[in-house]
Amino acid sequence: MTATTATPIQARVRRGTALTRALGSALPVCALLVLLLAALAVTDAGFYEPDRFLAFVRRAAPLLLLAAGQYLVIVSGHFDLSVGAVVTTGVVAAAEIYHSFPGAHWLVVTVVLVAAGALVGLVNGLVTTGLGVPSFITTLGMMLILEGGVFYWTGGSPTGYLPDDFRALGRQDAFGWLPWAVLVCVAVGAGVWWLTRSSWGRTLMATGDSERAAELSGVATARVRTVAFVLSGAAAALAAVLVGGFSGVSAQAGSGMEFEAITAVVLGGVLLGGGRGSVLGAMAGAFALTALFTLLNLRGVSGALEPTVQGVIVIAAVALGAADLSRRRRRSPAPPAPPPAAPAGEGPTHPSTGGPTS
Amino acid sequence: MAAASPSPALPAVAAPAARWRRGLADPAVGIWLAALGVTLLGWAVVAVRGGEFLTQPNITGILQNCVALGLIALGQTMVILTGSLDLSVAYLASLGTLVAAETMAGSDGNMVPAVVAVLALCAGVGLANGLIVTRLKVNAFIATLGVALILRGWIEDNYTGPAGDVSRSFQRLGYDRIGPVPVSVFLLVGVALALWFVLRRTRLGHHMYATGGDEHAARLSGVRTERTVLVAHVLCALCVGIAALFLAARFGAGSPWAGTEARYDLESIAAVVLGGTLLAGGRGGVVGTLGGVTVLAVLDSVFNQLAVDPFFKNVLRGVVIIAAVAVYARGRRSAGRSR
């Protein structure tokens, strides 16, 4: 009853503020990005020569893909800590595939990898939503399983090589100047952006915002979330193809990337816990993070101190974003009012459902 | 006044019969039963293969392995219960061993200054974590990840390998034992008792549960939630400091990889959740965490006895963690739909 009367009003309000809100949450990261790009221009005059700038974008590409996938999972209220391990596994698995089938077509191998990544995501999603395991633990366990599995499979040191046609996606240019990686990123970014505009994307957002409300209005929250995990796994596998092409086979290919991706997404103004943020912000966050790494490199910050500077900037940037958000929330005290009412109505149902079972 | 009112109400909630029934469904009981089961299973499997599992050196080894992870996981329990998280524990443990070993510099006279220095450092880092989370309103995941990066940079910039020297008498903390029980286990039990007391018998503990359960409701009922989270972070970091002192005593020197090699950040969270504490906060406790740590240590020992490939061990560990948490989630669902 209440749901049917509330939906149209809510929808209208949401449509009115959707654009401003999307821009609003991504505003700090855009400012940070402009700042970093300006600093890069000052530090290195040649940075904006087309080929060098495109090379920089190519380097950022894997993280952009991971951020796009991670965004979908985070906005639905979960984490995916397994993406770094998926990248490592993908790179090593590609080398193993070429070891067994030297003549395999690159497209076939890529499709197999992406399908395998999607399968990993499917397992993550089913375990999280079906068995009710917190995604932090599910994907952490998946990370242990994949990393352990890869090293067990290869005996600790992956060998093999990746042929040039497979590596083209990660290091070659289309039409002689535009890196394939950029095209892949733009395609994936546009795809995810389109998805978030679709009805599936809206239910995903609603699920992350309030699972109970979404469930009561008829969203199959488990299915929506599982699809998000599947897409994140597939994006990670695609990132593995780019990483493999860019830097070859290594057992460390994806180590630490899960935290980088989550940092990028949060830097992009996406709320950990779900329900708020835009994919453009998330990808801008990934871009900003790569720009930060590049800047630190060019500035000659001692390689060892790099994490320290990174940590300080990440905390500062997120703190600034949080400060903005809390101020905006205080200015409009109306939205927070409904939530206290919902638990109050929910409260009495708990003892009554608990009673008969015990 | 307002702050005092929720604390006396909490312990008296359950009637004796209900408490007994809930006791059996309590994950803390379940995890200790699981620990017992894993031990028996390990004993049986090793015995079938013609080995001895419950030998004195093996028991000592298992207990020894519990200590470092146990101390860190106990600290992690405090933050997770309060609804926060600490990903900086691994690098903090590494830095702690380095500071301890360098301050001691091999002389017994420097033992007290070294302990004080490590605990002060850890309290400082915990305070920083807490302030970033509560004052700057940065999500705990990002805040402590950022602090972890800061510590990592500091360590990598200043140390390239083991440094310092732990004095002989301090190393006894890592190696002495009474019967089959290492003295360090008493340290772990002591810290666990202290934290149990804080959580169950003090106002601060009740505030922690309240804050983790529903921060908004806790604040409305007069709990100073920010201060509670801050204190939880400091307590966690102090536990890490104690773990670092133990690790330093064990290694005899400070090591930049002491905390990260064993992946104490993620392992400690896994142990806490394995012990039945809700990752979202508000439910769980010290007893369960110790059970979780014991299960991980016993499993490790069984795998070692069976000479399981170290990489394959990780695969098995991942499966066990997911499966265990799935069992809890199932129990909770059937008990009542609370997430």
Query: Is-above-0.95 flag for pTM?
Result: no
Contacts of A339 in chain B (CB under 8 A): 216
* A156–B139 C-beta distance less than 8 A: no
Q: pLDDT digits over B30-47, tens only? A: 888 888 988 898 888 888
Q: Is B1 exposed, middle or buried (0-12, 13-18, 19+ CB in 10 A)?
A: exposed
Q: Is the dihedral of CA A51, A232, A146, A104 positive or negative?
A: negative
Answer yes or no: is pLDDT of A44 > 70: yes
CB contact under 8 A, A133 and B145: no
Among B150, B219, B267, B272, most A C-beta atoms within 10 A, so best to mutate, is B150
pLDDT for res B128: 96
B35 in any annotated domain: no
Find the CATH number of the domain harbouring B244. 1.10.3470
Q: Could you tell me the residue range of the domain that residue A292 belongs to? A: 18-329
Closest among A87, A93, A91, A85 to A143, alpha carbons compared: A85
Question: Whose structure tokens read 């064990």?
Answer: B250
| Domain CATH for A246 | 1.10.3470
- Tell me, what's the pLDDT at B334? 67
Q: Give the closest of A127, A150, A315 to B146, CB-based.
A: A315
Provide the pLDDT for residue B23: 59
Mean pLDDT for A74-101 is: 90
- Token pair of A90 as six digits: 């993908």
Provide the shortest C-alpha distance from residue B165 to chain A (in Å): 24
Higher per-residue confidence, B257 vs A358: B257
Considering only CB atoms, A138 lies closest to which of B149, B322, B339, namely B322
Whether A344 has a pLDDT exceeding 50, the answer reads: no
In this prediction, residue B19 carries a pLDDT of 64
What is residue B70's predicted lDDT score, i.e. its pLDDT? Answer: 96
Contact across the interface for A326 and B137, Cβ inside 8 Å: yes
- Asked whether residue B16 is assigned to any structural domain, the reply reads no
The predicted pLDDT at position B101 comes to: 94
CB-nearest to A319 from B21, B136, B311 is B136
Contact between residue A73 and residue A80 where contact means Cβ atoms under 8 Å apart: yes
Nearest Cα of chain B lies from the Cα of A29 at a distance, in angstroms, of: 15
Whether residue B41 lies inside any domain: the answer is no
pLDDT at B189: 95
Residue that is written with structure tokens 């590596």 in the block: A167
Task: Please check whether residue A338 lies inside any domain of the structure.
Answer: no
User: B31 with B288: CB under 8 angstroms?
Assistant: yes
What total number of domains does chain B contain? 1
Tell me if A325 is assigned to some domain: yes
If you average pLDDT over residues A89-112, what whole number do you get? 88
Q: What is the residue type of A310?
A: Q
Q: A136 pLDDT exceeds 60?
A: yes
Q: Which residues of chain B have pLDDT under 50?
A: 1-12, 337-339
Number of domains into which chain A is organized? 1
Task: Report d(CA A270, CA A90) in Å as an integer.
Answer: 27
Contact A137 B152 (CB under 8 A): no
Q: Which residues pair with A179 in a beta bridge?
A: A173
- The CA distance from B17 to the nearest CA of chain A, in Å, is 12
**Residue B89: inside a domain:** yes
Indicate whether B1 belongs to any domain.
Answer: no
Residue B4 maps to a domain:
no
Asked whether residue B186 is assigned to any structural domain, the reply reads: yes
In a domain, A3, yes or no: no
User: Which of A204-208, A218-222, B1-5 has the lowest average pLDDT?
Assistant: B1-5
Answer yes or no: is B109 within a domain.
yes
Closest CB from A304, A340, A343 relative to B157: A304
Q: The domain containing residue B101 runs over which residues?
A: 54-329
Q: Model confidence over A268-293: pLDDT tens digits?
A: 888 888 788 888 889 999 999 999 88
- In sequence order, the β-bridge partners of residue B178 are B181
What percent of chain A has a predicted confidence (pLDDT) above 90?
28
Does residue A206 belong to any structural domain of this protein? yes
Q: Is residue A191 in some structural domain?
A: yes
